[in-house]
């Protein structure tokens, strides 16, 4: 079934099946991160407040890509989306056009991490289809390739939402053994946001959160970091 757009009470949602929301946009504020899991994924800013380049697997309604494009003006952004039907809705969801620092590629995210030489500083994985999370985006090989693809001290952020999350957490841990992983539970929903770091990058869990947040001058970033950190270290595995 091709993706479709549903509009109600000033919000547009991207759906693959009725009543299952893949992405949500406020019609009069397209850049707002309305879903709590998207705000939580921005927790990578606690480790890298101004990444040189970001790669994203899964476009959806473009909530995360739009926010990063606006709030991180010095960051190069590459988005990989396998479904042409999702890409066809980019204008409906006010997704930026391709340019010097925004690139939307129609392809398989698993192929991207296996082949790329981009070395992104941040890699965000939020790829779902009609049946949920595609097998090629949650295999041990995929997470191994995510580790390889990231630049030195890179950060992997994965949105999990399924019955086999425990298995996937173990796979991510095996691929990112250096610093362990942090699992953050968003404010609502059944999502789990996983942060895994490469090299010497590590969470500043022994530093008071207020001290960390004062390093960000942009109020919007601070609010998002605070939301992501409200449940930070819900689970730490090393």
Give the whole-angstrom CA distance, residue 69 versus residue 98.
11
Best CA proximity match to 3, nearest among 92, 159, 129: 129
Give the whole-angstrom CA distance, residue 207 versus residue 147.
26
Q: Please, where are the H alpha helices in the chain?
A: 36-41, 63-71, 84-87, 109-115, 140-149, 165-175, 209-213, 219-229
Tell me if 127 sits within 8 A of 58, measured CB to CB.
Answer: yes
Best CA proximity match to 6, nearest among 124, 108, 89, 79: 89
Active site residues: 126
User: Looking at residue 132, what DSSP letter applies?
Assistant: B
153 Cβ neighbours under 8 A, 6+ residues apart: 121, 197, 198, 199, 200, 201
């Amino acid at each position: 079934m091709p993706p479709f757009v549903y509009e109600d009470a000033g919000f547009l949602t991207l759906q693959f099946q009725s009543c299952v929301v893949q992405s949500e946009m406020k019609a009069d504020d397209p850049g707002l991160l309305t879903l709590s899991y998207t705000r939580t994924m921005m927790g990578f800013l606690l480790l890298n407040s101004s990444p040189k380049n970001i790669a994203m697997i899964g476009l959806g309604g473009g909530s995360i890509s739009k926010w990063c494009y606006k709030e991180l003006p010095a960051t190069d952004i590459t988005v990989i989306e396998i479904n042409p039907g999702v890409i066809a809705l980019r204008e409906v969801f006010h997704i930026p056009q391709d340019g010097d620092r925004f690139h939307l590629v129609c392809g398989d995210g698993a192929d991207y991490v296996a082949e790329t030489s981009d070395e992104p500083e941040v890699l965000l994985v939020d790829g779902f289809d009609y049946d949920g999370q595609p097998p090629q985006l949650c295999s041990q090989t995929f997470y191994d390739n995510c580790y390889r693809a990231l630049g030195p001290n890179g950060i992997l952020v994965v949105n999990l939402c399924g019955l086999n999350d425990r298995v996937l957490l173990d796979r991510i841990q095996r691929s990112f053994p250096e610093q362990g992983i942090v699992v953050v539970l968003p404010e609502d929903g059944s999502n789990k946001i996983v942060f895994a770091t490469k090299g010497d990058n590590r969470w500043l869990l022994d530093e008071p959160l207020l001290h960390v947040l004062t390093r960000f001058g942009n109020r919007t970033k601070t609010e998002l970091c605070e939301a992501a950190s409200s449940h930070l270290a819900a689970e730490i595995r090393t």
